[in-house]
Amino acid sequence: MKVMFDTNILLDVFQNRPPHYALSVGCINRVLHGDIEGYIPAYVLTTFYDVLKKYRDPHMARDAAAWLSGRFMVALCDHDVLEQAYRCDIPDCEDAVVAMSAKHAGRTHILTRNTDDFVNSSLPILSAPELPENIRHS
């Protein structure tokens, strides 16, 4: 199962955001244990770094971004992906880029805490609690 992770799942873990932390850690652990292939859009690394450096420090933020890029596959976010995102039916640009990066990279699902943001996606959308059941059926 090839899963594109939305930024909120990652930030839940690295910012220790209750009540989402435990479920989001469980999703990342699925990648670390090889149960699923985890992907992130390229822009997520810079967004992730910028958010973390505001709340922690630049060194921790850089280490965290490097950790992510070493454990997740990074999907391209090129001109074609952006053009598709601008034309798709997902109103939020960032969410549209996640969806189009996933589609372009051949991912099977998008994992997010905000499933309603992807209501018009052509790919199946999963929340953290739904991931284990979907892994069993893949």
Quick: pLDDT tens for 21-78.
999 999 999 999 999 999 999 989 999 899 999 988 899 999 999 999 999 999 989 9
Say what the pLDDT of residue 116 is.
Answer: 95
Among 72, 101, 91, 103, residue whose Cα is nearest residue 10: 72
Mean residue pLDDT of the chain comes to: 94
Say what the pLDDT of residue 135 is.
Answer: 87
pTM, to two decimals: 0.94
Which residue segments constitute the domains of the chain, with CATH numbers given? 2-136 (3.40.50.1010)
The secondary structure element, H or E, covering residue 41 is strand 37-41
Asked whether the beta carbons of 46 and 86 are under 8 A apart, the reply is no
Distance CA 121, CA 71 (A): 26
CA dihedral 17, 21, 27, 29 (to 10 degrees): 110
